[in-house]
Structure 1
Amino acid sequence: MHEILLPGRIVIGLGAFAEVGALAAGLGSKVLIVSDPVMERIGHVDACRRYLEQAGLACAVYSGVDTEPTDRHVDAALAVCRQEQCDVLVALGGGSCIDAAKAAAVMMTNTGVIADYAGGAKRFANKPLPLIAIPTTAGTGSEVTKVTVIIDTRTDVKLMIAQPELVPQAAIVDAQLSMSCPPSVIASSGIDALCHAIEAYWFRKANTVTDGWALQAIGLLVKHLPNCYSGKGQADDFAQIALGSMLAGAAFSNASVTLIHGMSRPIGALFHVPHGISNAMLLPAVLEFTADDAAERLAVIGRLMRPDLSEQGSAVLSAAVIEEVKALCRLLRIPNLRDWGLDREAFEQALPKMAADAIASGSPGNHPRTVTAEEIEALYRVCYDYEFQMNEGAAL
């Protein structure tokens, strides 16, 4: 038996941003916009405020979210929400803004602090304030998930909290908002979405609904992400990766992520590598580590990526997936951990904590291959110096 959770309303399409006022008007009377300085600078926050005010709603703004959301961002958003007596939230930005807004919305109506709810240790007793999630990147899929990821600044651990109360009331997916993203953001968010889709598909307990979403997402992302990154992308390319990101988010939220995300979170928490980039740094090596244990599932993905090899066996198709992912990482200029600038000695010293934190997150337990702390440490070392070199014949 599987439970499928999604927002009650999803509005998707070019120009859908303008619907935020109509959606919010049915949910409350005063809105807190949760965003970041970039969204303010490029005018998206002002546009959102305008749409809301045109619908007769009062607004307040918290725009202090950083690239990695922390419990401090959540507390600051909560303070504004309480002071301004807001009764509905709008998250406008990338996954960090949406995750921070999710945590603020649910903590407005529940006791304690957000860290109390990590790992299912405590369940949310009350419904959150209504939340409308509006992504401005095509990557996290947080607009449709039951998940928030928040750094606990006391422990330097990324807390993944997954409960139904975290699903936004509504989502607006408008690719126009992501068309101005710089190539680095397109790369990191796009590879994050690809990881969501692959991990949801090879998840130990995957189901037919999430399988369909994951495979469609993989096909859309692999086809359209290179154009968007290279500057050749048209409106339809951005629309397709926005759709792919949303489908990947729906897939992993209703299945799960696995080893890649489990290993990625400690890199972000301790070394402040953006989440999508740390996923990409790990993805090819984890594919190689898992290839024998997920050969049939990787073969299905291989037929999407390399239809010219569709008659080949699972071993050939699995190898093709690895080569295509390497090619994509090279195209997106993904560095390894060494080239990102991580000090080797500091990295080595952190490995036991990183491996322990990865396992404690629960995500490695969903992986197709059983993995130990020692194997995770070894994989981290592989990824530190990993070279995204392609074998002859791999091409996008």
Structure 2
Amino acid sequence: MAGAAIALPRVLRIGAGTLGDVGDVLRDLGVSRPFVVTDRFLAGQPAANRLTAALAGAGMTATVFADAIPDPTEASVALALAAMGDGRHDCVIGFGGGSPIDTAKAVAVLAARGGGRMRALKAPHVEDRAGLPVIAIPTTAGTGSEATRFTIVTDEATDEKMLCIGQAYLPVAAIVDYELTLSKPARLTADTGIDALTHAIEGYVSRRANPFSDGIALLAMKAIAPNLRTVFREPGDRPAREAMMLGALQAGMAFSNASVALVHGMSRPIGAHFHVAHGLSNAMLLPVVTAFSASAAPARYADCARAMGLASEATDDAEAVARLVSELRQLNRDLEVPSPRAYGLDEGRWRALIPVMAEQALASGSPANNPRIPSAAEIATLYEQAWEA
């Protein structure tokens, strides 16, 4: 196996109450003038007040931008960059789920370059020149964005979710406080949890996997699998919430250092064209894509089944893979994940856009990391199967 270049945040603060450490983290990084990116809902929650109070207690005054939107666009990033002002800020704090953190990453990179468009930075371009330091504080156990070298920004002119890659997007610090997830509603808990599971599975089966990503992806699956249904049904279960938050972080580390694959490649066009939340679109696709892909790497998928407690070492690979596919289908039923049809998407528009979505999925590059590399026609068939699931 070729050597792997592993990249992780420089600082990790993990555990209950670590949100209060934000001032110490910034001070240790040598920064003191934060620009906080969050969304309108979170800005009105007690956690946001705790964040600004902790900064004030450390003698730091933050500018808060609370207009991050789901699936950030070039226009929304430009709005945040304009709100940042004249360059007096020396770091960016992303506070929220994947969208505020992705917005924070994009703003940090563009601010260091004096502006510009994210379109110029989309894959296959790799942006490794440092932007402003990003401190990521996730409030969902899902995206793992606090530990990844990726950000996603939509070009609203073409409805393309642009994948942007490079060390510039890797947060220098992550504060991972599971208490921030205790109030999350069931639907968000489910969607972000399956997102994290998808990251772990795809990070493990990716053609770019390596010994480091393998180990941490398996740890993520072991943390997520026994706790996902629990946090959906019992949102106040603190040990389960803690396990999910750690698993999401580990899954983020895994796929950041191995890359995602076909599920993500197909998921992004669904989000761009139909505005389905990223975690939910991953969940809609994970069973059918796993069933399609497993024949090309049965031992790897069997390892996933064993890590998730679905099979033992004595179970042969074929049986383990069958159990994995069955479990992913049952998980969607238990977490009330709708198919695209049940979600209420327009069938005519879905079918008309399948060729476009298939080409956009391929162009993203992620399907090339899949154990079974699909053609555009095969991706189109998978979209058809997902519709009927």
TM-score in same-fold range (> 0.5): yes
1:143, 1:171 within 8 Å by CA — same for their partners in 2?
yes
Normalising by the residue count of structure 2, what TM-score does the alignment of the two structures yield? 0.96
- Counterparts of residues 1-396 of structure 1 (less than 5 Å): 1-26=3-28, 27-83=30-86, 85-110=88-113, 111-121=115-125, 123=127, 126-231=129-234, 233-306=236-309, 309-386=312-389
Q: Quote the Cα distance in structure 2 between the aligned partners of 1:131 and 1:222.
A: 30
Given that residues 305 and 324 in structure 1 are in contact (C-alpha distance below 8 angstroms), is that contact kept between their aligned partners in structure 2?
no
When the two structures are superposed, what TM-score results if normalisation uses the length of structure 1?
A: 0.95
1:83, CA displacement in angstroms? Answer: 4.2
CA distance in 2, matches of 1:366, 1:296: 17
Distance verdict in 2 for CA 1:3–1:84, change over 3 Å:
closer
Distance, in Å, in 2 between the alignment partners of 1:25 and 1:32 is 15
Report if the CA contact (8 A) 1:191-1:276 is conserved. yes
Give structure 1 stretches of 5+ with no counterpart.
387-396
Distance in structure 2 (CA, Å) of the matches to 1:83 and 1:228: 43
Retained in 1: the 8 A contact 2:127–2:168?
no
User: 1:393 aligns to what?
Assistant: none
- Amino acid paired to 2:123: G
Is the contact made by 2:127 and 2:165 (CA closer than 8 Å) also made in structure 1?
no
Q: Is the 8 A contact 1:25 1:57 kept in 2?
A: no
**Partner SS for 2:76:** helix
Question: Number of paired residues?
Answer: 385
Deviation, 1:135, is 0.1
C-alpha distance in 2, partners of 1:29/1:216?
35
Q: Which amino acid aligns with 1:189?
A: T
| Aligned-pair CA distance for 1:164 | 0.7
Question: Distance between the aligned counterparts of 2:12 and 2:270, measured in 1?
Answer: 32
Kindly provide the CA deviation profile for residues 129-161 of structure 1, in whole angstroms up to 9, marking residues without a partner as x: 111100000000000100001111121100111
Equivalent-residue separation in structure 2 for 1:266 and 1:177 (angstroms): 30
Describe the SS at the equivalent of 2:253: helix
SS of 1:291 mapped into structure 2: helix
AA matched with 2:323 = A
Structure 1 stretch displaced more, 292-301 or 178-187: 292-301
Distance in 2, matches of 1:36 and 1:297, equals: 38
Shift of 1:306: 3.8
User: Cα gap change, 1:162/1:121 in structure 2, threshold over 3 Å: closer, same or farther?
Assistant: closer
Moved over 6 A (4+): none
Deviations for 1:100-126, whole angstroms, at most 9, x for unmatched residues?
Answer: 0000001101252111100133645x4
**Equivalent in the alignment of 1:389:** none
* C-alpha distance in structure 1 between counterparts of 2:126 and 2:166, whole Å: 10
**Structure 2 residue identity aligned to 1:214:** A
Q: Is 1:89–1:130's contact at 8 Å kept on the other side of the alignment?
A: yes
What is the letter of the counterpart of residue 3 of structure 1? Answer: A
AA of the residue aligned to 1:14: A
Give the drift of 1:29: 2.7
Counterpart Cα distance in 1 of 2:82 and 2:31: 18
**Do the aligned residues in 1 keep the contact of 2:125 with 2:165 (CA within 8 Å)?**
no
Do the aligned partners of 1:25 and 1:56 also contact (CA within 8 Å) in 2? Answer: no
Which piece of structure 1 moves more, 169-178 or 321-330? 321-330
Whether the 8 Å CA contact 2:123–2:364 is kept in 1: the answer is yes
Deviation of the 1:247 alpha carbon: 0.3
Q: CA deviation at 1:80?
A: 1.4
Taking the aligned partners of 1:243 and 1:122, their CA distance within structure 2 comes to 28
Q: Is the 8 A contact 2:216 2:253 kept in 1?
A: yes
For the 8 Å contact 1:218–1:244, the answer to whether it is kept is yes
In 2, are the aligned partners of 1:60 and 1:84 still within 8 Å (CA)? no
* Contact 2:310 2:324 survives alignment (8 Å): no
